[in-house]
Structure 1
Amino acid sequence: MTEILVQGGAGPGISDATRVVEHPAWPELRDAVEEIRPWQSKDGSIDFDAEGAPTRAVAGATLDRVVAAVGRLSPLLPHDAAYHAALAADLRTWADGGFGVPDFLDSLLAFQPAADRRDGLQHLAVFPMYTQNGNPDRNLEAVVLRMVWPDWLAELERTRYDNPLFCGITFEDFTAGYDTNSAVFFPETIAVREAPERFSWGGIFCDREAARFRRVTEAAVRTLGLELPDDIREMVADQDRCQQAFVLWDMIHDRTHSHGDLPFDPFMIKQRQPFWMYGLEELRCDLTAFREAVRLEADGVPQGRDVQYAVLFDRMFRFPVTGARVRNYDGLGGQLLFAYLHKHEVVRWTDNTLHIDWERAPQVTQQLCEEIEDLYRAGIDRPKLVHWFAAYDLVSTYLAPHPGSRWAKGPDALDVSQPPRKLVDDVLPDEFPLSMFYEALSKKLKDVIASTKGIRGSASGFEFEIAKGQKP
C-alpha cells in the first residue's frame, strides 16, 4: 500500500478562500473512489467472484490511488491530520483483509469536526457509508465540506440553544452517494465493527436544504397563486439568506430531540413504532424551532422571521409531495400542518388560489406545537399502546385515515394481546393518504421535486419572477 504522509500540529493550512477541490489531487481521489463504488456489495465488501468484479490486484492498485490522493491533500488541512492518518490505516486494513466488510471505527473516532467549528473551515472525509435519503448501501464515499458557523449562530448556540455536537455544513464536492436527496452527514451511517458509546458530531448541509426549498417554494407559489410579503419574497430569492435560516432551524431542531416532556426515546427511528409517531416527533422539533424563531424575531434577530417561513413552506409545499408514500413520516407531518392551519382558517384554498393569514399564522402554528407537547406530557403516564392510539386520534382529527385501516377502527379491530411492536404490522403503508389538494399539487410539482436530486447551493440560483399579486 502507498504510504500516506500527513502534516501534524498547528499551521495555517489552506485558506478559507481556497477550495480544496481545486487541488489536482481531489479529482484523482474522487475518480478512484468512483471506480471502487460499483465493485462493492451492499455491506461494503467486494466479492471478487461476482460478474464484473476486478482482480484483487486491480482493487488494491485503485485503493493505493485513494490513499495517495488523501496524502497529497492532507497537508492542506492540518486540523484533519489525525483523522487522515487513521483513515489511511483503515484503508490499508480493509485491503489487507481481502476487502471484506469494511470497519472504519478508528478513523470515525479520529474525525472530530464539532471540536472546531470555525466558520469556513474545510474538511475532507472518506468513509464507507450509506447516505440517508440517498444510497442505501455502504459504499466508499468522498466528500469535501465547509463549516457554517458565523458569529451570530455561535452566540445563539452558546447562550440559548446549546448543541455542542451540531455542525452546519455546505458541500464543496462529493462522490455519487451524495448525488441524491441526502442532505445529512451522520456518523451512524458509517461502516464500523461496533457502534461507539456516544457519537460526537452530526452534520446537515444547509446549502442543499436551502436550494431545494427555494426551487420548490418558487414553483409552489407560482402554481398556487400565493401572494408573499415582500420580505419573504426577498428571502426566497436569496440563497445565502435561506442558508442562514436553515442552519438555525436545524440547530434548534436537532437539540429538541432530547428536550421537553418525552415519554420515550426521542430517537424513535431505532425503535419499531407506527410511522405517525416518527412524523409527530419530527414535526414537534420543527414546530419548536418555529416557536423559538418567533421569540428570536421579537428579540431583533433577523433570521427569526426567515426560519418561520422556511418551516411553513418546506413543511406545506415540499414534504407532503416528496418521496414514496410508504411510511412517509415527514410527508405526514407536512400534511398535518397544512390541515391544521386550514381547519383554523389560516390557509384557504379558494378560486384556485392559496391565501395565508400572515398575522395569525405564527399563533396557530404554535398552537399545534402545544397540542403535540400536551400529547407527549400525557404519554408519560400511559402504556405504549394507549399512547400510540392517542397519537393516532390527534392525527386523525385533522387527516382522514385510509378507509381500509384497522387502526382507524380502534382497539377492537386489533389483536391487542400481541406485543405493541407486532401491531405495527397492521399499519397500512399509506395510513393517511394524500388529500385531493395534495394529489393535485403532487402532479404539478413532481418534475420540480425530481430536479432537486443532487442539487448544489452554488448552482441553484434562479430569478424569483412572480410579481406581487400576480396569478400563475
Structure 2
Amino acid sequence: MRSQHPLVSDTRWLALKDAVSSIRPLQIKDGSIPDAENHALATGLVDRISTSITELAPEFPHDHAYLTALVADFRRWADDGFAVPDFLDSLVAFAPANNRVDGLPHLVVFPMYTQNGNLDRNVEAVLLQVIWPEFVAELEAGDYSNKLFLPIRFLDFTAGYDTNSAVLFPETIAMRELPKFTWGGIFADREAARFRRVVAEAAQVTGLQLPPDAARLVADQDLAEQTFVMWDLIHDRTHMHGDLPFDPFMIKQRMPFFLYSLEEMRCDLTAFRESVELEKQGNPYARLVQYAVIFDRIFRFSITGARVRNYDGLGGQLLFAWLHQHRVLHWTDNRLTIEWDKVTEPVLELGRRIEDLYWRSIDRPKVAHWLAAYELVSSVVTPHPLSAWARYTAGDREALPLDGPPKGLTDHVLPDEFPLSMFFEALDKKMKDVVAGTAGITG
C-alpha cells in the first residue's frame, strides 16, 4: 500500500482545506456569495485561504507564477464583493502539462464544478501529483503525442471531489472568458481503484474466470494506474484525430446522446486497436489495456449512473451485445465466459464499423448522419418499444419530424432510448451497492 504523502498531514494544507470547506456553504450555484451578511465571514476565510496558499507556495516552486496569481484572484474576488468569481489570470498561469515529472505535486485551488460530481462552482482545493512513468513518456514522445494530457493522482481534496469525478478540466473553472487550454487532467488512481473494485465483484457475481494477467491487473493498484494512463493517453489523443464529423469534445452542441456514445467508443476502440499493435511490439502494458477496455466498459460503465441520456452506459451495452452476438462472449448456466483467443477480431471490427460511419459522415447531411448512427447502434442494442426513432428505422417515415430543425429529432430521443437488457438488469441489482461505493475512492 502506498504511504501517505507528507503534505496531506501538513498543518498549512489542513488550514487551507478547512477554510475552503467553510467558504463553500456561503456560495450559490454560480460561485458568488450574494448575501451581504456573509461577506465579513467570507473575507476572513479568503484571508485564511490566501495565507495558507502563500505559506504552502515554497513546496511548489514549479507553480510560483500560478500560486502568486491565485492569491491575487482571491483578493480581487473579495474586493469586488464576492460577485461571480473570475480566476482567469491564475488559470492561464497554471500549466502543469509543461512539466510532466512522475510524482511531481501540485496544489490546485479554484472555484469550479466537478464533472460527475458537484455541479455548483464552489471553491475546491486539491493536492495531487503527476503520474508519468517512463514507458508512457516514450509513447507520448513517439506516435501518441498529446501535449495537453496530464495523468494525475489524488493526494487529498475537498468535498467536490468526494464524488465520482475523476477529471480536472480547466473549462470547469469560473472565469470571464475562455482562453486556449493547455492541459486536461485525469485522475488515473480513481479510475484504477474503482475498476479494480467493480471488476473483482462482477467477476465473482457472474462466475467469470479472469485470465492470470487480468487477475493481476485487478489485484495491483500501481499496475492498474499505469495501464489506465496508457489507455487514457491514446483515448484522449483520439478525440482530436481521425475523420471527425463534429467537434470531437462535443462542446456546446445538442445532439442525440447515442452520438456521444459512439465518440467515446471510437476513442476506446482505437486504444484497444493500438494496444493490439503495441503488444506485438512487446509493450508489457498493451494486453492489460485490452482487458481494461473490455472489463471497464461492460461491467462498470454499463450500470453506472442514471438511465437518462447515459451515453457511457450505452457504450458499454453496445460492446457487450456486440461480443455476445459475435459468439465470443457467452452467458450460459448463469456463468459468463469470454473466448479470449477469439475476442480481439470482433472488438476490432466494431471499431472499424464506427470509423466507417465517421468516414461516410463527411458526405452526408447532419440528419442523415444521425440516422445512420442510430441504425448502427440499434442493430446491436435493442431500442425502447416506444421509440419514435426505432419506428422510423423500421419504415414509419411519419415517426420523426424530418421537415424541421435537427433539434426536433433530438427531442424525440427517449431519456432511456436503449434500456438495460435482462442481463444488465440482473447485474445492476447485484452490483448497485458496489458501484455506489466507489464514489470518492482513490488508490
Q: TM-score if structure 2 supplies the norm length? A: 0.97
1:40 aligned residue: 27
CA distance in 1, matches of 2:15, 2:333: 56
Report the Cα offset of residue 327 of structure 1.
0.2
1:210 aligned residue: 192
Report the Cα offset of residue 150 of structure 1.
1.3
Structure 1 unaligned regions, length at least 5: 1-15, 458-472
1:294 aligned residue: 276
1:187 aligned residue: 170
Report the Cα offset of residue 58 of structure 1.
1.2
1:425 aligned residue: 411
Report the Cα offset of residue 268 of structure 1.
1.6
2:5–2:155 contact (8 Å) kept in structure 1: no
2:12 aligned residue: 25
Structure 2 counterpart SS, 1:167 = strand
2:59 is aligned, of 76, 86, 91, to 76
Alignment map for 1:108-127 (pairs within 5 Å): 108-127=91-110
CA distance in 2, matches of 1:330, 1:264: 18
Aligned residue type for 2:402: V
Report the Cα offset of residue 127 of structure 1.
0.2
Report the Cα offset of residue 18 of structure 1.
5.5
Report the Cα offset of residue 231 of structure 1.
1.4
Deviations for 1:326-365, whole angstroms, at most 9, x for unmatched residues?
A: 0000000000000000000110000000010001111111
CA distance in 2, matches of 1:380, 1:346: 33
Report the Cα offset of residue 19 of structure 1.
3.2
Stretch deviating more after TM superposition (84-93 or 261-270): 261-270
CA distance in 1, matches of 2:336, 2:402: 43
1:37–1:140 contact (8 Å) kept in structure 2: yes
Deviations for 1:228-268, whole angstroms, at most 9, x for unmatched residues?
A: 11111111100000001100100110010111111222122
Instruction: Provide closer, same or farther for how the CA distance between residues 440 and 17 of structure 1 changes in structure 2, counting only shifts above 3 A.
Output: closer
CA distance in 1, matches of 2:104, 2:249: 29
2:146 aligned residue: 163
Aligned residue type for 1:273: M
Structure 1 counterpart SS, 2:248 = coil
Structure 2 counterpart SS, 1:217 = helix
2:398 is aligned, of 379, 393, 412, to 412
Aligned residue type for 1:45: S
1:467 aligned residue: none
2:239 aligned residue: 257
Instruction: Provide closer, same or farther for how the CA distance between residues 413 and 18 of structure 1 changes in structure 2, counting only shifts above 3 A.
Output: closer
Report the Cα offset of residue 17 of structure 1.
9.4
1:152 is aligned, of 105, 127, 135, to 135
Q: Does 1:139 align with 2:122?
A: yes
CA distance in 1, matches of 2:106, 2:39: 30
Deviations for 1:141-195, whole angstroms, at most 9, x for unmatched residues?
A: 0001100111111011001100001001000000000000000000010000111
Structure 1 counterpart SS, 2:154 = strand
Aligned residue type for 1:43: D
Report the Cα offset of residue 22 of structure 1.
3.0
1:446 aligned residue: 432
CA distance in 1, matches of 2:233, 2:407: 31
Deviations for 1:427-450, whole angstroms, at most 9, x for unmatched residues?
A: 100000000000000000000001
Please, what is the CA RMSD of the aligned residues? 1.2
CA distance in 2, matches of 1:352, 1:99: 58
Alignment map for 1:310-325 (pairs within 5 Å): 310-325=292-307
Deviations for 1:30-74, whole angstroms, at most 9, x for unmatched residues?
A: 00000011110000001216xxxx532111011100000001100
1:393 is aligned, of 375, 382, 388, to 375
Aligned residue type for 2:8: V
Structure 2 counterpart SS, 1:293 = helix
1:89 aligned residue: 72
1:462 aligned residue: none
2:181 aligned residue: 199
Aligned length: 437
Aligned residue type for 1:208: R
CA distance in 1, matches of 2:9, 2:133: 24
2:423 is aligned, of 417, 421, 437, to 437
CA distance in 2, matches of 1:351, 1:332: 26
CA distance in 2, matches of 1:389, 1:258: 23
1:269–1:278 contact (8 Å) kept in structure 2: no
CA distance in 2, matches of 1:247, 1:267: 19
Report the Cα offset of residue 269 of structure 1.
4.2
2:33–2:39 contact (8 Å) kept in structure 1: no
Instruction: Provide closer, same or farther for how the CA distance between residues 18 and 328 of structure 1 changes in structure 2, counting only shifts above 3 A.
Output: closer
Q: Does 1:99 align with 2:86?
A: no
Deviations for 1:100-132, whole angstroms, at most 9, x for unmatched residues?
A: 100000000000000100111000010000000
Report the Cα offset of residue 412 of structure 1.
2.6
2:111–2:123 contact (8 Å) kept in structure 1: yes
Structure 2 counterpart SS, 1:211 = helix
Identity of aligned pairs, percent?
Answer: 62
Instruction: Provide closer, same or farther for how the CA distance between residues 179 and 247 of structure 1 changes in structure 2, counting only shifts above 3 A.
Output: same
CA distance in 1, matches of 2:311, 2:217: 27
CA distance in 2, matches of 1:27, 1:436: 48
Structure 2 counterpart SS, 1:326 = coil
1:342 aligned residue: 324
CA distance in 2, matches of 1:388, 1:397: 14
Structure 2 counterpart SS, 1:128 = strand
Deviations for 1:303-341, whole angstroms, at most 9, x for unmatched residues?
A: 101100010000000001000000000000000000000
Q: Does 1:370 align with 2:352?
A: yes
Aligned residue type for 1:350: T
